[in-house]
Amino acid sequence: MVERSAVTILALDDEPFMLKLLARMLANMGFTSVTLCDNGHAALARIDNVSARPNLILLDLNMPGMDGIEFVRHLVERNYSGSLILISGEDERMLQTAEKLVQAHKIQVLGHLHKPVKPEVLSALLEQWTPPAPSSLPAVKKIYGADELRAAIDSGQLVNYYQPKVALASGEVVGVETLVRWRHPVDGLVFPDQFISVAEAHGLINDLTRTVLTSALAQAKVWQQAGLTLRVAINISMDNLASLDFVDFVVDLTTRAGVPPQRVVLEVTESRLMQDTRAPLEILTRLRLKRFRLSIDDFGTGHSSLAQLRDIPFDELKIDQGFVHRAWSNETLRAMYDASLALARQLGMEVVAEGVEDRDDWDLLQRTGCDLAQGAFISAPMPAADFSGWLENWQERVRTEFGNFNVAP
């Protein structure tokens, strides 16, 4: 058990009275290292000082100026890896929705508190929380430097993992999504949230995408020769779509690999607002004319939104995992899932549900006529070498576990 006094907490609320109250409650529970902030900018300044990063943030959603949801977006940009408790005077549904939004950003939420905050409720949330061990204090993920990443790209330390996308009606594996990993000589396997933004910020994203696409196409070719017809998806950053050369490089690599463009899926998320949308629009439209498949990723979060759907001829819509897992048990999630599915149907797009983690998730998707599923229930992302072993195992599961397919795989 970690000493409570060693755990650092930040409370952010625009009401000074509320801050004092929270500080007193926390002190009574043994948490003495508590910082109080009455606005988001002050709190972010604390968090920018990496050695002073709090392990836990108590966050008021309703604040003038920067509200709680906007604050969370800034936390994500800063790779905050501590936990959150949300506080609000809003109704339960509003708090649940906010909680889901934060979880979609992969930040741990211990729960939410209604105002007026009751000490016993706060205490119960903190009871079930395991604060990080002192060795991992402060809660911060390592962010890599541009030079180190550049060297990693050049020396082949980036490797592709692949996660299957399967048809809900038949269990058939129709494609894979390529997810890049960094085999770091010292730190082991490093995940993309620790280096994609670095690549974007330092002009390395084109080289990174080229590396990922080149190996993904080579792998597609290997599968093709083994008689496996799989669509291969890669993730495209908005920064890839800033220069018109992108079309040539994708077309060139694909032609040289001998893979039909219909089997290449480009997953696009608009991670932040674009200054100038003309280049991305033109690039995506041209790629589509050349028969590449376009997919709108993380639908329902951030900026992957209606405006994009209106402007760009997507073939596929991926419902964000935050609206898929447990949608069967939560009315709000279910409403968002249903709406996304209906919208995609109306626009004639294929729908992929992400974050399918268990049989209950799978059953809901199947019942509601979703096209494709992706997630831990089917398989975590894996190296290409594991794919054929997994496939055999999956086909066996389809035969034995699922009795309700229309078509045999």
Chain residues that interact with ligand C2E, rule: CB under 6 A: 163, 179-180, 191-193, 196, 209, 212, 234-235, 237, 267, 269, 297-298, 321, 354-357, 375-376, 381
297 binds Ca ion (CB under 5 A): yes
Q: Is 171 left (phi over 0), alpha (psi -120 to 50) or beta?
A: left
Of 54 and 171, the one with the shorter C-beta distance to ligand C2E is 171
Distances (CA, A) of 348 to 20, 297, 315: 54, 16, 8
By beta carbon distance, the residue nearest Ca ion is 267
Of 60 and 298, the one with the shorter C-beta distance to ligand C2E is 298
Of 88 and 237, the one with the shorter C-beta distance to ligand C2E is 237
- CB 262, min distance to Ca ion, A: 19
- CB 317, min distance to ligand C2E, A: 13
- CB 234, min distance to Ca ion, A: 8
Residue 350 in contact with residue 174, Cβ under 8 Å?
no
Q: Is 337 left (phi over 0), alpha (psi -120 to 50) or beta?
A: alpha
Q: Which option in ligand C2E, Ca ion, none does residue 211 bind, with CB closer than 5 to 8 A by kind? A: none
Tokens, residue 133 = 């061990």
Of 67 and 315, the one with the shorter C-beta distance to ligand C2E is 315
Q: Which option in Ca ion, ligand C2E, none does residue 316 bind, with CB closer than 5 to 8 A by kind? A: none
> CA–CA separation, 77 vs 97, rounded Å?
21
Of 34 and 153, the one with the shorter C-beta distance to ligand C2E is 153
Q: Which residues pair with 221 in a beta bridge?
A: none
Distances (CA, A) of 155 to 63, 158, 214, 246: 47, 8, 15, 23
Q: Which option in Ca ion, ligand C2E, none does residue 294 bind, with CB closer than 5 to 8 A by kind? A: none
Which one-letter amino acid corresponds to residue 247? V
267 binds Ca ion (CB under 5 A): yes
Residues 225-244 that bind Ca ion (CB under 5 A): 235
> CA–CA separation, 267 vs 61, rounded Å?
32
Which DSSP string corresponds to 97-118? HHHHHHHHTT-EEEEEEESSPP
Which DSSP string corresponds to 281-314? HHHHHHHHHTT-EEEEEEETSTT-SHHHHHHS--
Helix, strand, coil share (%) of the chain residues, nearest 5: 45, 20, 35
Distances (CA, A) of 278 to 92, 112, 275, 305, 311: 41, 41, 9, 17, 11
> CA–CA separation, 195 vs 205, rounded Å?
10
- CB 236, min distance to Ca ion, A: 9
Q: Is 160 helix (H, G, I), strand (E, B) or coil?
A: strand
- CB 200, min distance to ligand C2E, A: 8
Of 117 and 159, the one with the shorter C-beta distance to ligand C2E is 159
Per-residue binding letters, 6-25, with Ca ion (x by CB under 5 A): --------------------
Of 234 and 349, the one with the shorter C-beta distance to ligand C2E is 234
> CA–CA separation, 250 vs 261, rounded Å?
9
> CA–CA separation, 179 vs 165, rounded Å?
13
Of 137 and 213, the one with the shorter C-beta distance to ligand C2E is 213
Binding segment (CB under 5 A) for Ca ion, from list 65-73, 292-300, 326-334, 396-404: 292-300
- CB 267, min distance to ligand C2E, A: 6
Q: Which option in ligand C2E, Ca ion, none does residue 58 bind, with CB closer than 5 to 8 A by kind? A: none
Of 13 and 354, the one with the shorter C-beta distance to Ca ion is 354
- CB 354, min distance to Ca ion, A: 5
298 binds Ca ion (CB under 5 A): yes
- CB 140, min distance to ligand C2E, A: 18
- CB 356, min distance to ligand C2E, A: 6
Q: Which residues are near Ca ion by CB under 5 A?
A: 235, 267, 297-298
